[in-house]
Amino acid sequence: MDSVTNKLDKKVAIIGGGIVGISTAIFLLRRGCEVTIFDKKILDKPASFGNAGWLSSTSIVPVLTPGILSKLPKMIFSKYGPLFLRFPGWISMIPWLLKYLSFSSKEKVNYIAENLKPLTIDTVAMHKKLSLNTQASRWIKESSFFYIYKNKIDYENDYSWTVRKNFGYQWKEVQSEELQNTYPDLDKDYKFGIRLDNMGYISNSMQYLSDLVDEVKKLGGSIIEEEVIDIEEVENKIHVVTKNLKNYQFDRCAITCGVFSNNLAQKFGSTVAVQSERGYHVEFEEPNINLKFPIMNAFMKFGITPMQTGLRFAGLVEFGSLNSEPSEKAFNKIISNAHEMFPALTYSNIKKWSGHRPATADSLPVIGQSPSSENVYFGYGHQHIGLTTGPKTGELLSKSILQDNDIIPLNSYKADRF
Ligand SMILES: Cc1cc2nc3c(=O)[nH]c(=O)nc-3n(C[C@H](O)[C@H](O)[C@H](O)COP(=O)(O)OP(=O)(O)OC[C@H]3O[C@@H](n4cnc5c(N)ncnc54)[C@H](O)[C@@H]3O)c2cc1C
């Protein structure tokens, strides 16, 4: 491991301790930096905990693809539709939603895929690198994944496979019999599947984050559990101001607050706002069903992962509810979908969670130096794939902060690209 030569660059504040912030901290600590993570409350079940746990090396396709406008009514109003609009919150999002829609053309989707590929392709290797010689490595599972459909036509109409094919990904088509043999408890209406290899998942999402936080501490990093309300730059020093008006001084800082990054990032020149795509999960404890591999139900649009803590069903997209309570209707939809998918499902208890995906209008994260200060860095906006891309972002950001990024150019992820 190389150590930092320039003393001025040594003291770094990371604002936000989700997977992006924790990864950045670990890569910086390994290079000899003095690192402090600020979080309102560390390990308080952020998005980095509540996700489906997927390390998805093929997730290069944004949610919005060509033809999305004609599909929207079904996505909102049909029984299985995954999209919720929360009134009145979503009304104020209309300008952002229109911009989001403008990135659904073939050309834009190709551009997004091209720039998500380097962040996702080696996700399992990156998680192994991050967790090397730590307790966290025990939760990384290499696995195949199945995308399931009720029929082959639905698969053929799913534009995401056209994009993946264009970018050189391969998969195996699975017919009814093999699908039923792989998942004997699956409802017989599912007659077609896709098997993707070289994927992975985190089998205990809370313990994984907690083990990584232990690694931060073991490497000498500090954790301060206070909300950051401002960042000031005075005479080339960064002052982090917290809610109880304490002021901490650093050489550099990284803003990795997920969906709460806007205010701090805008102050330092970011034009790329994040909006919440709220998601939900329901975890069925002690289920009677053992899944050999995680599933993406491409009909109902949610992921099912065999976690050590239970069978987790995660998904749905809700706009306009960043400051509202979670919706019981959404939880009930997941529960009824789960029973429809596995009619014999039993369990001892259910645990519910809801949190916010940090979405940008062009589905690309913001990674790298602020346009207005060489001491401020950004790592936010990882939408549906922040667990997958967290360690890669962490390494890119750490190298960016130390001015020696030689992994990939960061132009497409620039904070002033809009
Ligand atoms: C239902 C669902 C399923 C998902 N499934 C997957 C999946 O299978 N695979 C995948 O790759 N991704 C998935 N995602 C997306 C992924 O979870 C997110 O993209 C990722 O967790 C974002 O990580 P983050 O570190 O940027 O933000 P977060 O995990 O939200 O962490 C941000 C942290 O910053 C702290 N913070 C915020 N503001 C401040 C402040 N002012 N001061 C101090 N601290 C602050 C918060 O307390 C929080 O701890 C899913 C998301 C959802 C909701």
For β-strands 11-15 and 252-255, DSSP reports them as parallel
> How far apart are the CA of 201 and the centre of ligand 1, in A?
16
> How far apart are the CA of 382 and the centre of ligand 1, in A?
8
48, 300, 316: which to mutate for ligand 1, most atoms within 8 A of CB?
Answer: 48
Instruction: For residue 88, say if its preceding peptide bond is cis, omega within 30 degrees of 0.
Output: yes
Residue 53 lies in a domain: no
Same domain, 309 and 296: yes
**Domain of 398: which CATH number?**
3.50.50.60
Same domain, 387 and 241: yes
Same domain, 22 and 96: no
> How far apart are the CA of 177 and the centre of ligand 1, in A?
38
Using CA atoms, how far apart are residues 354 and 328, in angstroms rounded to an integer? 10
Same domain, 285 and 150: yes
Indicate whether residue 81 lines ligand 1 (CB < 6 A).
no
19, 204, 257: which to mutate for ligand 1, most atoms within 8 A of CB?
Answer: 257
Closest CA to 19 of 305, 212, 204, 272: 212
Same domain, 319 and 376: no
**Domain boundary residue, one of 317, 332, 359:** 359
What single-letter DSSP state applies at residue 309?
T
Cα–chain center distance at 70: 27
Same domain, 352 and 247: no
Residue 1 lies in a domain: no
pLDDT of residue 8: 46
Same domain, 287 and 226: no
> How far apart are the CA of 21 and the centre of ligand 1, in A?
10
> How far apart are the CA of 183 and the centre of ligand 1, in A?
30
**Domain of 309: which CATH number?**
3.30.9.10
Nearest atom in ligand 1 to the alpha carbon of residue 54 is: 8
pLDDT of residue 86: 94
Indicate whether residue 19 lines ligand 1 (CB < 6 A).
yes
Which residue is closest in CA terms to ligand 1's atom 34? 16
Burial class (CB in 10 A: 0-12, 13-18, 19+), 245: exposed
pLDDT tens digit at each of 418 positions of the chain: 444 545 445 899 999 999 999 999 999 999 999 999 999 999 999 999 999 999 999 999 999 999 999 999 999 998 999 999 999 999 999 999 999 999 999 999 999 999 999 999 999 999 999 999 999 999 999 999 999 999 999 999 999 999 999 999 999 999 999 999 999 999 999 999 999 999 999 999 999 999 999 999 999 999 999 999 999 999 999 999 999 999 999 999 999 999 999 999 999 999 999 999 999 999 999 999 999 999 999 999 999 999 999 999 999 999 999 999 999 999 999 999 999 999 999 999 999 999 999 999 999 999 999 999 999 999 999 999 999 999 999 999 999 999 999 999 999 999 999 9
Same domain, 38 and 135: no
> How far apart are the CA of 356 and the centre of ligand 1, in A?
7
> How far apart are the CA of 192 and the centre of ligand 1, in A?
32
> How far apart are the CA of 190 and the centre of ligand 1, in A?
32
pTM surpassing 0.95?
Answer: yes
How many alpha carbons lie under 13 Å from residue 102 in its C-beta half-sphere?
A: 9
Using CA atoms, how far apart are residues 408 and 332, in angstroms rounded to an integer? 43
Residue 303 lies in a domain: yes
What single-letter DSSP state applies at residue 342?
S
Using CA atoms, how far apart are residues 85 and 318, in angstroms rounded to an integer? 6
* Residue ranges of E strands in 3-44: 11-15, 34-38
**Domain boundary residue, one of 336, 359, 382:** 359
pLDDT of residue 9: 55
Indicate whether residue 258 lines ligand 1 (CB < 6 A).
yes
Residue 241 lies in a domain: yes
Q: How far is CA 377 from CA 134, 155, 368, in A?
A: 27, 40, 5
Whether the CB-CB separation of 418 and 361 falls below 8 Å is answered with yes
Same domain, 254 and 221: yes
Indicate whether residue 14 lines ligand 1 (CB < 6 A).
no
> Which domain does 269 fall in, by range?
7-47+207-274+362-413
Residue 2 lies in a domain: no
pLDDT of residue 340: 97
Residue 27 lies in a domain: yes
Nearest atom in ligand 1 to the alpha carbon of residue 263 is: 41
pLDDT of residue 10: 84
Same domain, 170 and 213: no
Same domain, 82 and 157: yes
Same domain, 114 and 136: yes
Indicate whether residue 381 lines ligand 1 (CB < 6 A).
no
* Count of domains for the chain: 2
Which residue is closest in CA terms to ligand 1's atom 25? 18
Residue 418 lies in a domain: no
What single-letter DSSP state applies at residue 325?
P
